[in-house]
Structure 1
Amino acid sequence: MKNWLIQNALLVNEGQRTVSDLRIRDGRIDTIAPGLSGRADETVVDATGLWLLPGMIDDQVHFREPGMEYKADFATESRAAVAGGITSYMEMPNSKPTTTTLDALEDKYARAAAKSVANHAFYLGATNDNLEVIRALDPKAACGIKIFMGASTGNMLVDNPDTLNAIFRDAPTIIVTHCEDTPTIEANLAAERERYGDAIPVGRHPYIRSREACIKSTRLAISLAQRHGTQLHVLHITTADELALFSPGPLQGKRITAETCMHFLHYSEEDYATLGNQIKCNPAIKSASDRDAIIAAVREGRIDVLATDHAPHTLEEKAQPYEKAPSGLPLVQFALQCALERHFDGQLSLERVVECTSHAPANLFRVKERGFLREGYWADLVLVDPRRPHRVSRDQVLSRCGWSPFEGTTFRSSITATWVNGHRAWHQGQLDDSQMGKRLEFAR
């Protein structure tokens, strides 16, 4: 493994900006100090004018393996992730078969060890009938327990009240939830079918996957967590209505936290007119006022984590009529640049972006020795050029699905380089996938 000396970078870490040097030795951050001199066994990088950030930890991705490798797998999507400055990811259980047994969980780790350029961890999925599996989970073996409190792939909708209560009572580790009320969605869909038949416009998606469905389910999850003292993390908040349910301020000491995703900071329902099913996702992208409220909530700490919910589908699948077109969009390759747009717009500080993409997920999930620029930590780093715009085109896309909703978008920054465990996996548009990432460890 190469050793590195990154000189003259603007380090953004733990609420501070410092022009300094950073030395990487044996995969870890060895020294952070100004004025370091290069050694004979080091490759020196002049990072004058560039930002050096801890690599993003994405707490919500769907990489489709096993069972749907025709549209994504751990190899393709992890490479897209490191190209976008994501050095670690936490992957969801609604694969085929679902990750709802301990054997299925370990199978994913084995697959990722052989294929994934990024560091990785996996959720154990909850169902109405795997309570004993959840009780038997080693808290260090999974990033968390995922509950779909809304319809999902396979047998993963947990809607039995007794089972939900027991999972929240007995969970050995953090619970993360997808909160949408299925009966509400089904009633909304029936009304839209009555009105439009089989030609429902995609612009009706936020009224089918409605704000009422979101807030009803989120309230239920929070009430269960409060009843049992459970650590709960509510994923992909999309409505202004839900924000009052979460406390503002620092993450430390919170038992109930919230996440939102890059596309909810970037798009609004007005974009269905041009992007259609390409931005169809669950929960749905909603109004511009919801988007503005969510950005404000990130700023004040009501929302603690920024993630992607990366969920690729083929263009052929997305070209189907509304009801047949699957929900989800590919995001990992350009997610960090999308978040940084909120900084360039003056809506979020650079320090807050780093907090929500790196520090907060590391602290929330108790990821060991990652998520910060600290001596002794693994060297998971991203070097950003804030002066070099980047226009997204389809030929750049590394995800297997081969497209991005950001095509034609010009971001005001570029990802210059990404280091994963001290290995420079991405540099100026070129991948070096000669080293695989590591299984995330949890200090629990």
Structure 2
Amino acid sequence: MNKILIQNAKIVNEGSIFEGNVYIEEDTIVKVGSFEMHPDEDCTIIDARGQYLIPGAIDDQVHFREPGLTHKGDIESESRAAVAGGITSFIEQPNTIPNAVTQEILEEKYQIAAASSFANYSFMMGATNDNLDEVLKTNPKNVAGIKIFLGSSTGNMLVDNEVVLEKIFSSTPLLIAVHCEDEATIKNNLAIFKAQYGEDIPVTAHHLIRSEEACYISSSRAIALAKKTGARLHVFHLSTAKEMELFTNAIPLEEKKITAEVCVHHLWFSDEDYVTKGNFIKWNPAVKTAKDREALWEALNDDRIDVIATDHAPHTLDEKNKKYAEAPSGGPLVQHAVVALFEAFHQGKISLEKIVQKMCHNPAVLFQIEKRGFVKPGYFADLVLVDAAAPWTVTKENVLAKCGWSPFEGYTFKSKISHTFVNGELVYSNDKVSTIKAGKRLLFER
């Protein structure tokens, strides 16, 4: 039997920080607290003195590129990067090739992950203008939800038929996650910049093309439709101050029908960074202004925004080095998301308790994930130890994503992931990912 005793950790859980121990048997947390224990000889003991122990982060939005785009990344390579970054569970999006828009294609992705994932996994079912029958077959017990692209992005799955949208919103009990950008607004803005620059549009125009207006028009429409139909709506990667007026902190998360997510890059970068980072911070929705970033932090801290995710979406260096108009949007973030939020803690922008709430507890509550996201007896032992006083610098050599680059290259983080456990297995320690592919399919209490 696999037995692990983590001692003397500063445990961050459910709004408090306390020193204590965690005892694990097999894949489950058995004890948490200040108990004394004389473990068996076959028990592994880890002295975590001075380190923070948090639940494994749950990333509700990644693009791991398998099948069909595995030159950019695959489930094995990107889940390896995830566990090195303290992310123990991920929910992957359907814009792979082929798009995951039938139950058969969706199940094939689960089979790939079962054989290759270091982290726990779930996959979104994709909606299109003509696959409502397939969408309605989705099992709420073992699929995270339905993903709808209301703006075109990498692997175009745009749903722009309003009759179809209303049918999906009114027909499924599942959580509906949306990418919100108004296509007509983006096309009009792009035409203006093409008229001025031809094919040599500067990347500094990205947030003006995929503008605040484009985001707000789309997200406000989606929210209005959710209110009309009673749908359970989750709005991905919010990027503007204006959108924050659409969300509330007046009711508990468990009672919210409309929830909000922000991604690490929208909290970290601003339009000023396009000059030095170029296409390497080109995302959809675009990184906006410093004022927008400030509003996102405010909404995150006052609970209008419920979840922090990555939208991890790797592309090759060759693709990113193309001209702005040809370079795809997206970048790798799973390896550096948790330490980036700990950096924000060091900077006084957010508390450790709030980081754990937004990256661990809330995704579990929001998606109704079974027995994950908390440091509690009876829960799966998905745990992460963070040394908040262990500086390290991101270099090409220590990036684990298959694409081989990071927008954080050259940055020195003050905190480091020291250990990651997935289902009680030590999958990352001493800067190395183990060979144990311990990930399991996420299940949902619905």
Q: Fold conserved (TM > 0.5)?
A: yes
In structure 2, distance between residues paired with 1:197 and 1:435: 48
For residues 70-105 of structure 1, the C-alpha deviation after alignment (integer angstroms, 9 at most, x for no partner) is 110000000000000000000000000000000011
Q: Which residue type is aligned with residue 422 of structure 1?
A: G
Q: How far has the Cα of 1:252 moved from its partner? A: 2.4
In structure 2, distance between residues paired with 1:166 and 1:378: 37
In structure 2, the residue matched to 1:378 is 380
Q: How far has the Cα of 1:155 moved from its partner? A: 5.4
The alignment status of 1:205 with 2:206, answered yes or no, reads yes
In structure 2, the residue matched to 1:224 is 225
Q: How far has the Cα of 1:153 moved from its partner? A: 4.2
Structure 2: 5+ residue runs without aligned partners?
A: none
In structure 2, the residue matched to 1:415 is 417
In structure 2, the residue matched to 1:440 is 442
In structure 2, distance between residues paired with 1:151 and 1:371: 32
Mark the CA change 1:252 to 1:141 in structure 2 (over 3 Å): closer, same or farther: closer
Q: Which residue type is aligned with residue 275 of structure 2?
A: A
In structure 2, distance between residues paired with 1:49 and 1:59: 29
**Is the 1:113–1:436 Cα contact (8 Å) retained in structure 2?**
no
The alignment status of 1:46 with 2:61, answered yes or no, reads no
Matches for 1:258-407 after TM superposition, within 5 Å: 258-407=260-409
In structure 2, distance between residues paired with 1:196 and 1:435: 49
Matches for 1:59-74 after TM superposition, within 5 Å: 59-74=60-75
Number of corresponding residues:
444
* Corresponding residue SS for 1:272: helix
In structure 2, distance between residues paired with 1:421 and 1:427: 15
For residues 397-426 of structure 1, the C-alpha deviation after alignment (integer angstroms, 9 at most, x for no partner) is 111000111011111100000000000000
Q: Which residue type is aligned with residue 323 of structure 1?
A: A
Q: Which residue type is aligned with residue 18 of structure 2?
A: T
In structure 2, the residue matched to 1:18 is 18
Greater CA deviation, 320-329 or 384-393? 384-393
* Corresponding residue SS for 1:237: coil
* Corresponding residue SS for 2:254: coil
Q: Which residue type is aligned with residue 81 of structure 2?
A: A
In structure 2, distance between residues paired with 1:193 and 1:435: 47
Percent of pairs identical after alignment?
51
For residues 88-147 of structure 1, the C-alpha deviation after alignment (integer angstroms, 9 at most, x for no partner) is 000000000000000011000000000101000000000000011112222123101000
In structure 1, the residue matched to 2:259 is 257
Q: How far has the Cα of 1:345 moved from its partner? A: 1.2
The alignment status of 1:2 with 2:2, answered yes or no, reads yes
Q: For the aligned residues, what is the CA RMSD?
A: 1.0
**Is the 1:79–1:431 Cα contact (8 Å) retained in structure 2?**
yes
Q: How far has the Cα of 1:35 moved from its partner? A: 4.0
In structure 2, distance between residues paired with 1:254 and 1:217: 20
Q: Which residue type is aligned with residue 436 of structure 1?
A: A
* Corresponding residue SS for 1:400: coil
Mark the CA change 1:415 to 1:154 in structure 2 (over 3 Å): closer, same or farther: closer
**Is the 2:142–2:442 Cα contact (8 Å) retained in structure 1?**
no
Q: How far has the Cα of 1:27 moved from its partner? A: 1.2
In structure 1, distance between residues paired with 2:178 and 2:436: 35
Segments of 4+ moved more than 4 angstroms: none
**Is the 1:392–1:409 Cα contact (8 Å) retained in structure 2?**
yes
**Is the 2:121–2:439 Cα contact (8 Å) retained in structure 1?**
yes
In structure 2, distance between residues paired with 1:210 and 1:396: 34
**Is the 1:7–1:36 Cα contact (8 Å) retained in structure 2?**
no
In structure 1, distance between residues paired with 2:163 and 2:149: 15
Structure 1: 5+ residue runs without aligned partners?
A: none
